[in-house]
Structures are given as structure tokens and as C-alpha cells.
Amino acid sequence: MKLIRPLLVSFGALTLITGAAYPAVVTGLARMAFPWKSQGSLIRVQGQVRGSRLIAQATEDPRYFWCRPSSTSTFPTNAAASGGSTLAGSNPELAALVARRVQVLRTSDPGNRAPIPQDLVTASASGLDPDISPDAARWQAPRIARVRGLAEGDVLGLVNAHLERRLAGPPCVNVLELNLALESLGKAGE
């Protein structure tokens, strides 16, 4: 009993310190130093949460920009099931999947014969990538302009206004932020 009591006291103290006190202090400091980021980088419009800046928002609505394909299970961009498809480039199943995605994009905009950017037909490693390349956004601009009854130049201007330059890597466009800005151009076609 002499050995068990100090062991239990030490275990209880360490559990309180590392399992409760430390996480509470770190969370409190993060909320003070980075309030927006520590709350999940949620984007609110008129007090309503529209999504997170960090997680893709999948849609097949032709009026909006589409994010990268997602390989998450149960539904696209399922944050609880983050992960890639793990299909090798030599796997015929991957080739068939990409071919189906190309067909969906060509069907959504039959007049667009430009090469489809790779990030519109391949999933990211997480399946949750909120960003697309500027080329992927520009490729979708004609469809969105046509469906919404907007000038293509206005849609392209919106894409260019939302380009993000990173410290490392190529520029990107956040799809959720771009779609919210698109809504502000007008709701024609709805």
C-alpha cells in the first residue's frame, strides 16, 4: 500500500496537469492570440456560418466554382474521414475515375474545349483541400458566367481579385471565399 498510494497520487496529479490544466491554458492562449483561427477559421455571412476557410465545400451546382474532387467516404469533403484514395498512378481504377471526372466537367460546360487543369480531376491527399489553382478557377469561369447571366470578364476579375500568394508554392484561390464573392455579384440565374 505504501507504494500504491504515491503512485496513484502521482498519476492523478499528472493526469490533471497534462490532461486538463495544460490543454486549458494552451487553448485559452490560442483564443486570445488567434481568435479567428482557434475557432476553426469559420466564415460567417450575416451571422450564419457558411463554412470553414480550411475545409472544402463540395457542390455540383453549375452556378458555383467547384473544389477539387474528394476521396473521403460517405460524402465528399467529409472532415471526419479525411484521407486520399491511395490509388497509384498505374492503377486502372484511378484512370477510370479521372475519365469520369473529365466527362462530368465536359458535360457541365460543353463549349469549353480548353484543357482541364489537373486539380479539377484529381483529389488532394486529404480530400479536404479548400483551394484550387487559378487555372482551375479560370477554366470554370465561362460556365459560371453563362449560367448566372454575368459577363465572363466580371467572373474572371473576381478570380483574379481572390488570388492568394503563398510563402511557398504556387498561387491559389479559396473556393468558399470565391463563391461567397460570386454571390455578391448578383443572383441572376437562380
For 6-44, the pLDDT digits (tens) are: 999 999 999 999 999 999 999 899 888 887 677 777 777
> Greater confidence, 76 or 160?
160
Greatest C-alpha distance within the chain: 82
Q: Stretch 144-160: mean pLDDT, rounded?
A: 94
Q: Could you report the per-residue pLDDT of 68-118, keeping only the tens digit for each?
A: 888 776 667 666 667 667 778 788 888 898 899 999 999 999 999 999 999
Mean residue pLDDT of the chain comes to 86
Q: Does the reported pTM lie above 0.85?
A: no
The full set of domain ranges for the chain reads: 1-39, 41-185
Secondary structure of residue 133 in the 3-state scheme: coil
What integer pLDDT is reported at residue 186 of this predicted model?
Answer: 64
From the list 71, 75, 136, the residue with the least C-alpha distance to 109 is 136
CA distance 150 to 31: 41
